[in-house]
Amino acid sequence: MTHVATLVTPDDRPALDDAVLAQAASLLPNAGGPEWLERQIAADIAFIPGGRSDLREAADQIRTAFRDMPIDIFVQPRAHRRKKLLLADMDSTMIRQECIDELADFVGLKDKVSAITRRAMRGEIEFEPALRERVALLRGLEHNIVDRILDERIVLTPGGRALVQTMRANGAHTVLVSGGFTMFTEKIAAAIGFHEARANVLVVDGAFFAGTVNEPILGREAKVAALSEFRLSLGLSRAETMAIGDGANDLAMLQEAGLGVAYHAKPAVAAAAHARVDHCDLGALLYAQGYRRREFTESPSPG
């Protein structure tokens, strides 16, 4: 069997049983019997695609069949299924918030900044000028407010620590690559367990934000470049890489990765990515790589 379809449901809404898996298998060419990764939660169905079979189309067909159930679908080749490089977006992906929106709340402009953020993430406006516009509104805000936001408002996305640390324990290199700011990424990357992080640098004037960001801005093209850079430096094939994100500035990175996953993403991003997570937390991406629940870890590997 050369390919595999993985069905995953949330832990608190288990929806898989033998009948569901049999129906899913009937939609795949030359399908084998299902294999549980975690009973009622995640299962693999191996198959051999016929002719010019489109893997995204196969996933969409299964997704449509179970549209009333909380099931995420991953369809991919079995070769290089366990990835050796992970690049992940931060805001609304590895954390539940948008950091710049939380900063704007302290100058009474959260609604205005959030509206710009949403338009940028949907791809309605270019990311770089949108970021400059939002950062300008932060001028005069004390920069130590970042520590308060980290302590009081930032929530890690469930499953994120298990995803990063399980991949690390199995030899993968993990990078948080964000259009946000280093003041946040450095601490969030450490809390989750990433090897390293890249992000934009907010300019500080004394104790206050200057209302500018260092150029060049880390946006859509920089994320793609980072993926290529790490892949080449590690001597990996494209198939051995995974990228995760939710916004339009992530899409090129998702399309360049071996497995690009739109995580609870904007509609245009979800439609264009290789795979999508609509129901589950980030732990679903371990099942997508063939890990069983007993292999999950949240203990970072040494170094």
State the catalytic residues: 89, 91
| 30 conformational bin, left if phi > 0, alpha if psi -120 to 50, beta if neither | left
78: Cα separation from own chain's centroid: 21
Q: Give every CB contact of residue 9 below 8 A, 6+ residues apart in sequence.
A: 15, 16, 40, 41, 42, 69, 70, 71, 72, 279, 280
CB-CB contact of 128 with 219 (8 Å): yes
Which of 60, 43, 12, 96 has its CA nearest to residue 264?
Answer: 96
CA distance readout (Å), 170 to 57, 83, 225, 268, 295: 31, 9, 25, 33, 10
Helices of type H across the chain? 18-26, 55-65, 99-105, 110-121, 127-136, 145-152, 160-169, 182-192, 220-234, 251-256, 267-272, 284-287
Which of 240, 254, 289 has its CA nearest to residue 6?
Answer: 289
